[in-house]
Amino acid sequence: MNKYMEDTKGGLLHTYNQFPVVLDRGEGVYLYDTEGKPYLDFAAGYAVCSLGYGNKEVNDAIKNQIDKLMHTSNLYYNTVCGEAALKVCKASGMDRVFFTNSGGEANEGALKAARKYAYKKGTGRYEFIAMRESFHGRSFGAVSVTGHDSYREPFEPLVPGVQFAEFNDLDSVKALVTDKTCAIILEPLQGEGGINLATPEFMQGIRDICDKEGILMICDEVQCGVGRTGAMFCWQKLGVKPDIMCMAKAIGSGFPVGAFAMTEAVAEYSLEPGDHGTTYGGNPMACAAVSATLEIMERDNIPQHAAEIGEYLAAKLDQMAASNPAVLGRKGTGLMQGITIDTEICGASGAVANKALEKGLLVIGAGADVIRFVPPLVIEKEHVDEMVEILNACL
Ligand SMILES: *Cc1c(COP(=O)(O)O)cnc(C)c1O
């Protein structure tokens, strides 16, 4: 074990099985450990660092804001929050946005916004339908709609009124709809659950149910959003617009910030002063990071670049699946893809990730039998080639 790690690790609560490496700095699509060894990064800090490391414009925007004004509280308007909100609205197709500190908080707020909508309309609806294999965060509300027993069981009883349908199985959703259903929540492209892309038909089917019954559709785009799938948000690619959506991870390029946003039709009947709040959420630094990130995404056509490199990555992974017996298939789209692996041949995803680390590549699993690829969106084809070469050697 690294000496620095040995000397300092005692204080942390052991909630992560951390890789045996101490990262020191980053540049472009590479990270460097304390010994100066480079790592090609196909994890991007869990799909966060989409503009790569050391983006000067984002860094300058945050640094300048620190010197100007770090914090005010949301009782006071400032020169950055309104602009960031308008940029989020423009990119997401939503009309009203609430900034949070994280993806989990964005989902909490979205669930509360849906409950408030039903409350104010007097419909008596309060139940949520969520998806199996979903992931929405670790706080009580978010974990209550997360479809993995292992994340839920130790913390039960959770928020009541949640039921789980099968992802991409519309009949299983229909079977759970009652006159008490308040909202249906899903990731258009599931991340933690193994990189599962919703079909346009499934999305449209849910949209139709929601429109017919007066139910709200919530899309959690915390991982798949902000250009990663080749569209600014994945729902745009699938052609089905939600009523409420959540974002975080890449929206601040590494600065801790998230948001939930909604259409005007929902906002009109939803959260009002006193209903919801956050001390830090959307503070000036966070908003400066969001504005800079979205500006660069749009100006440099980053989603388009993600689509192009994503196609190249898909072709390479398909080749791997055809030639390497440990690779069973490919999933996902854009720069959010995965391969299913035969764990009998190569071990579980964690073991493969550890081998890759030794060879200078960072990848993460999405369940034991899927290796996930969520690199910075600014990677080029040569980085894909480098990744494939290393990974093939690990499988
Ligand atoms: C990471 C993630 C979250 C939780 O975000 P945090 O910032 O860790 O709270 C929620 N939903 C999805 C889809 C995620 O990938």
Q: Are residues 291 and 326 in the same domain?
A: no
Can 233 be counted among the known catalytic residues?
A: no
- Position 1 scores a pLDDT of 61
pLDDT band at 196 (very low <50, low <70, confident <90, very high): very high
**Which of the following is catalytic: 87, 164, 220, 373?**
220
SS3 content of the chain, % helix, strand, coil (to 5): 40, 20, 40
What is the rounded distance in angstroms from the CA atom of residue 4 to the CA atom of residue 376? 27
Q: Is residue 63 part of a domain?
A: no
What is the rounded distance in angstroms from the CA atom of residue 317 to the CA atom of residue 388? 8
pLDDT band at 2 (very low <50, low <70, confident <90, very high): confident
**Average pLDDT of the residues in 92-98:** 98
- Give the CA diameter of the chain: 61
Q: Are residues 306 and 284 in the same domain?
A: no
∠ Cα 233 238 244 (to 5°)? 55
CA of residue 137 to ligand 1 center, whole Å: 5
Residue 315 belongs to domain with CATH number: 3.90.1150.10
Can 37 be counted among the known catalytic residues?
A: no
**Which of the following is catalytic: 42, 99, 128, 135?**
135
**Average pLDDT of the residues in 67-88:** 95
Whose Cα sits closest to atom 15 in ligand 1? 223
The model's pLDDT over 323-367, given as tens digits with 9 standing for 90+, comes to 999 999 999 999 999 999 999 999 999 999 999 999 999 999 999
Can 241 be counted among the known catalytic residues?
A: no
- Position 319 scores a pLDDT of 98
CA of residue 337 to ligand 1 center, whole Å: 17
Residue 87: is its pLDDT beyond 90?
A: yes
Name the pTM for this structure. 0.97
Beta-strand ranges (E) seen in the chain are 23-27, 30-33, 38-41, 96-100, 127-131, 162-165, 181-186, 189-190, 196-197, 216-220, 244-247, 258-262, 327-333, 336-341, 361-362, 364-365, 370-373
Q: Are residues 87 and 184 in the same domain?
A: yes
The model's pLDDT over 277-307, given as tens digits with 9 standing for 90+, comes to 999 999 999 999 999 999 999 999 999 999 9
Q: Domain end: 236, 271, 299, which one? A: 299
Q: How many domains does the chain have?
A: 2
pLDDT band at 3 (very low <50, low <70, confident <90, very high): confident
**Average pLDDT of the residues in 48-71:** 98
State whether the beta carbon of 190 lies less than 6 angstroms from ligand 1: no
- Torsion (CA) 334, 256, 59, 32 in degrees, nearest 10: -70
**Average pLDDT of the residues in 130-152:** 97
pLDDT band at 6 (very low <50, low <70, confident <90, very high): confident
Range of the domain at 235: 69-299
Q: Are residues 33 and 92 in the same domain?
A: no
Q: Domain end: 269, 299, 329, which one? A: 299
State whether the beta carbon of 133 lies less than 6 angstroms from ligand 1: no
CA of residue 102 to ligand 1 center, whole Å: 7
How large is the C-alpha radius of gyration of the chain?
21
